[in-house]
């Protein structure tokens, strides 16, 4: 599985991992903030962006994919930052290669299994586009809008639409994501990672709750937490300057 990735800047290595339906570009604002002092590697996870597709879609596999990129680049130690599903990939990397991770930053995700299906309308919209001969982005948005009411969510999804020979298609592997949705929302408890860890929560998001504290501290005993006021799950897009500052301050504090 040769992931597509991009590298910016020089210095200590920071790996950025996007969430479900995303791509390397999703954390672009953060990458631009970090590249002045760090070497930033942004990856497309399997079944997303320009990376290959596979029916096999587990956190272990996704984490190993990213580690394979770092191995190919001869990078031994690094910081890893993941948002949402990418946060679970990052946490799984901490289980697979704890000694290589200098620090871990998780954006709005807890190391727990979620039991609410949050994406039924999104999957219905994606399939609606797949089931039609779509000749323009406007057509795609029309079919998406039959299922996805939020304009911002539609625009986010449309970033992964590309023109193929037979019309417009999704870059992510829709059917594999549907088939593996229980895995995406699930979680297998990992051995404690004792390195520096930061969880950043959007105040209005439901992904990190007080009842998750025990699971977080049990698996990440040195974790710190920071809440970003008046933001939801997409905190890095809603308040990029605030999130960037929190991350930069955390990384700078590790040097002092």
Residue 1: half-sphere exposure toward Cβ, Cα within 13 Å: 23
Active-site choice (83, 119, 233, 236): 233
* Extended beta strands in 165-222, E state: 167-170, 197-202
Distance CA 141, CA 134 (A): 10
Distance CA 81, CA 247 (A): 9
- 233 labelled catalytic: yes
Distance CA 38, CA 6 (A): 13
Distance CA 22, CA 24 (A): 7
Q: Which residues in 105-141 are b (16+ Cβ under 10 Å) and which e?
A: bbbbbbbbeeeeeebebbbebbbbbeeeebeeeeebb
Pairing of strands 167-170, 161-164: antiparallel
- 18 labelled catalytic: no
Active-site choice (42, 51, 84, 205): 84
Q: Please, is 100 exposed, middle or buried when counting C-beta atoms within 10 Å of its C-beta (0-12, 13-18, 19+)?
A: middle
Q: Dihedral (C-alpha) 128, 162, 88, 201: value to the nearest 10 degrees?
A: -90
Catalytic residues: 84, 233
């Amino acid at each position: 599985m040769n992931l597509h990735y991009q590298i910016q800047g020089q210095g200590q290595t920071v790996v950025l991992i996007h969430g479900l339906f995303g791509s390397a570009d999703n954390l672009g604002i953060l990458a631009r903030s970090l590249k002045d002092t760090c070497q930033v590697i942004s990856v497309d996870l399997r079944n997303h962006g320009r990376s290959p597709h596979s029916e096999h879609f587990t956190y272990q596999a996704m984490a190993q994919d990213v580690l394979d990129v770092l191995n190919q680049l001869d990078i031994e130690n690094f910081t890893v930052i993941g948002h949402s599903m990418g946060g679970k990939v990052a946490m799984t990397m901490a289980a697979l290669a704890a000694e290589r991770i200098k620090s871990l930053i998780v954006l709005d995700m807890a190391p727990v299994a979620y039991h609410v299906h949050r994406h039924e309308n999104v999957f219905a919209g994606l399939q609606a586009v797949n089931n039609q001969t779509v000749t323009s982005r406007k057509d795609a948005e029309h079919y998406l809008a039959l299922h996805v009411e939020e304009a911002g969510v539609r625009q986010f999804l449309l970033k992964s639409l590309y023109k193929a020979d037979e019309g417009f298609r999704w870059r992510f592997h829709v059917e594999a994501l549907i088939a593996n949705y229980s895995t995406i929302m699930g979680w297998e408890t990992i051995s404690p990672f004792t390195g520096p860890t930061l969880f950043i929560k959007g105040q209005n998001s439901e992904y990190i709750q007080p009842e998750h504290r025990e699971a977080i501290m049990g698996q990440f005993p040195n974790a710190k937490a920071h809440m970003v006021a008046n933001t939801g799950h997409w905190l890095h897009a809603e308040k990029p300057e605030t999130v960037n500052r929190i991350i930069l301050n955390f990384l700078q504090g590790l040097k002092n």
